[in-house]
Amino acid sequence: MGEKYNICLDVGGTKVLGAIFNEKDEIIYRLKKRSKSGGEGATDVEKVIIDVVEEMIKASGIDRKKLNAVASCAPGVIDQDKGIVLFTPNLPWRNYDMASSMRKQFGVPFYVGNDVNLGVLGEFHFGAARGYKNIVGFFVGTGMGGGLVLNGSLYTGHLFKGAEYGHMILDPEGPLCNCGQRGCLEAFSSKQGMSAYIRQQVARGRESAMAEAVTEGVFRSKKLVKALEAGDKVAEEAVDRACHWLAVATGNMINTFSPDLILYGGGVIEALGDLFLKKILAEVDRYCMPLIRSTVDIKIASLGDDSILYGDLAMIKGLK
């Protein structure tokens, strides 16, 4: 029969990252394209996915007949077992049978799962979380995603709506979050939260090299790295504030689950992981019980940009 290949995709709001895996679970080809996937409906995102898959097949030279399956992530509430997008916040998708639609397009099985769940799943089977049974994952990016592995299996809660602890409320009178509530972890510690803080301080007349970077929305991680290297006080405060509340949230999750691993991933951690980890570790012991904390490892995800791609692969392989 010859070697079979799997195509895995990380579809985000600003980029599509794709990879072709061989049977040894090695990436043999990858493609990253900037995208405007926040179109008017499901067909816009479908088109992005189709274009990337077709371009990868053509550019890599693999035989289409040797394609085994295609998998992708999506933000929101996903019935991973059936491949149905129940709800996603940035697109008008409600009970959208994405798997059936894309199976018809490619003629092979198609899988879809929540982006952060898949990021944690990828690290669990192929990355920094291998060998652990109970994992609390915080993925720090534009927003704040959560992913849980409990007793050796991905935990998604009732009707796949669990692990949204990016919206645990830490201060009911805190900053407004996009979810409509105040004082969520996301409102403090995500790129959205840090950008809002920087905008607030600039509006008060303080100077910051980040002023321009946050005028249109959230900053790019590279800009924050440069500002910190230059000793930008407002940027430093934004990071200190983000890490403080991440430490509080981490302590809460340690007390709640007694995990063997706390895992930090996502774009911000990829850019500033060592700094974030140092600041979180300096505080976290204040917010959890010493007996429980003593049996918890705290690590940074090791697969970087590829965490979700490996989560896709785990999904194709039926790994829970």
Residue-wise pLDDT tens digits, 141-183: 989 999 999 999 999 999 999 999 999 999 999 999 988 999 9
Question: For 187-246, what is each residue's pLDDT tens digit?
Answer: 999 999 999 999 999 999 999 999 999 998 889 999 999 999 999 999 999 999 999 999
- Do 71 and 205 fall within a single domain? no
The span from the CA of 50 to the CA of 258, in Å, is 42
Question: For 298-315, what is each residue's pLDDT tens digit?
Answer: 999 999 989 999 999 999
Residue 209 inside a domain? The answer is yes
- Do 241 and 185 fall within a single domain? yes
- Do 65 and 170 fall within a single domain? no
User: String of b and e for 37-53 (b: at least 16 CB within 10 Å)?
Assistant: beeeebeebbebbeebb
- Do 255 and 154 fall within a single domain? yes
Domain that holds residue 284: 131-302
Banded pLDDT at 37 (limits 50, 70, 90):
very low
The span from the CA of 232 to the CA of 225, in Å, is 10
At residue 161, the pLDDT reads 92
Length of the chain: 320
- pLDDT of residue 93 exceeding 80, the answer is no
- Do 161 and 293 fall within a single domain? yes
> Total structural domains in the chain?
2
**Contact indicator for 309, 111 with CB cutoff of 8 Å:** no
Residue 126 inside a domain? The answer is no
Tokens 């006080």 sit at which residue? 233
At residue 313, the pLDDT reads 98
Pairing of strands 261-265, 135-140: parallel
- pLDDT of residue 85 exceeding 70, the answer is yes
The span from the CA of 144 to the CA of 149, in Å, is 17
Banded pLDDT at 107 (limits 50, 70, 90):
very high
**Contact indicator for 104, 306 with CB cutoff of 8 Å:** no
